[in-house]
Chain A
Amino acid sequence: MRIFDPHIHMTSRTTDDYARMAAAGVAAVVEPSFWLGQPRTGPSSFTDYFDSLVGWEPYRAAQFGVVHHATIALNPKEANDPRCRPVLDLLPRYLDKDRVVAVGEIGYDSMTPEEDDAFERQLALAVEHELPALVHTPHRDKAAGTRRTLDLVKASGLEPGRVAVDHLNEVTVGLVHGSGCWMGFSIYPETKMSPPRMVELLRRYGTERVLVNSAADWGVSDPLLTLETAREMLAAGFDEDDVDQVMWRNPVEFYGQSGRLDLSAVTGAAEPTFAGSSIKRGGE
């Protein structure tokens, strides 16, 4: 089984996690930039973090045979802090990097005017840099936040197929399903979504435009819940191909829209690359 975790914060995880993930078949990850738990107080702590997402972390992942890409953005929570907002002007430089495959995580935390502004500006950056967008939905007032998210996405001019709306649940999935955006689900040990509930949603909504992630970070989380969800799918009667679609081909298709997804280390150069994700290799 091959697994692509489309949303996991490896910076907060240990090398033991990388080793266990690789052994479980997690061969590729995307690490969205996000909040670190401790508030940052200025743009340079963001850029040091971004540098690590495009420098040290892919190198660390590669030691374990895991391919690492990143998404870059000012997260919604810190968009409210005037000390952090100047980082918005520094984003374009990072959005040009080879291993940056989306703008994200953007979206809402408390739905303030500051968040509206940062969200809007960063959707525009996604259009300008020809990148997809990864959108976080709020933990509180989730349904309202999701509706407002979809309105803003619609107004941005970014194609719905280039947007993933993440951390969905039974209440919000229907809204996103109808919008044409990708539906992201974070499988958590306690909160958000569990493997059995996820399987139920896959039954109801199908396996297309679905992204399943562990969103593992510095909180209570488990980088192997993608694998557990895959097993739960098989036990519920989905076949290997369904599992491969959800756990591998879907994230490849979504992030492949960046034109920057380089999975040659995993797939071998001989394997045909996915439409839109092919990287022209030297001399070819």
Chain B
Amino acid sequence: MTPPERLRAALRDTPHAAWLEQALAEPGRFTRSFAAAGRRTGRAPLPGAPGWTADEAVRALLLESLPPGRAAAEAHDLYRHGDADEKRAVLKALPMLPAGADALPVTVPLLRDAIRTNDARLLAAALGPYAAHLDQAAWRQAVLKCVFMGVPLSEVDRLDERADAELAAMLAAFAAEREAAGRPMPGDAAALLGRLTGDRTPEET
């Protein structure tokens, strides 16, 4: 199943599916439906789609339904004028947007915006599969920011595949700073550093 199919399957037989269908039938009210999704479906985790809440899922499927020519611009606009929940839904929906590589100059800046914020939920949402389009320097900084802000590294897509010697050096420097301050290094960051440098950390023994 593709990710949108998985979300549709998780919504099937819930009242949210009917609301989504109704929203899709009124393209003239697209922006208003996108904004109202949270209070129409609630914000509870969606059983059947781990990592997704009901409002995120219907918002992602609203975006996924857009005509390819308009999807990237619309996503950009919804993010720009969105509240934090809407922004997060846009970020999570980027991989399923009906848009090609020519959309990247419009969509990648959304990731960069989210990474600049101090909102842990937006930072985490920016480091999903779509972060493949971030250059390595930006990605490393974002991972380090997760460590700073206490965002679990399990939120980072393809972490081990992408982590490199440069990130290891940054983490080691951070570990030294933490040690000097008498503060512990978060367990998942210490474990990643261990994997990158070949050292065993206490978590792994």
Contact = CB atoms under 8 A, between A and B. Distances in A.
Interface of A: 47, 51, 54-56, 58-59, 93-94, 96-99, 259-260, 262, 279-284
Given A54-B84, A99-B83, 6 more contacts: A51-B83, A98-B85, A260-B39, A280-B40, A282-B14, A282-B41
Contacts of B42: 279-284
Contacts of B117: 56
Nearest to A258: B39
A282 B84 contact: no
B31 interface: yes
SS of A interface (majority):
loop
A55 B84 contact: yes
B66 to A, nearest CB: 18
A36 B39 CA distance: 30
B85 A282 contact: no
A274 B121 CA distance: 29
A58 B41 CA distance: 20
A128 to B, nearest CB: 11
A281 B53 CA distance: 11
B145 to A, nearest CB: 16
Interface stretch (B1-9, B43-51, B151-159, B188-196): B43-51
B81 interface: yes
Interface residues of B, number: 30
Given A54-B84, A58-B84, A282 B45 contact: yes
A47 B81 CA distance: 8
Contacts of A98: 35-36, 38-39, 83, 85
Interface in B31-85: 31-32, 35-36, 38-47, 53-54, 81-85
Interface in B1-31: 14-16, 31
Contacts of B31: 93, 96
B164 interface: no
B179 interface: no
B14 A283 contact: yes
A188 B38 CA distance: 36
Contact of A282 (B53, B81, B86, B121): B53
A177 B44 CA distance: 41
Contacts of B46: 282
A281 B43 CA distance: 7
B44 A282 contact: yes
A102 to B, nearest CB: 15
B119 interface: yes
Contacts of A99: 83
B31 to A, nearest CB: 7
14 contacts: A55-B84, A93-B31, A93-B35, A94-B81, A96-B31, A98-B39, A259-B39, A260-B39, A280-B15, A280-B41, A281-B44, A282-B54, A283-B42, A283-B47
Interface in B96-134: 117-119, 121
B123 to A, nearest CB: 11
Chain A CB count within 10 A is highest, among B40, B43, B46, for B43
A283 B44 contact: yes
A220 B68 CA distance: 53
B87 interface: yes
A266 B42 CA distance: 16
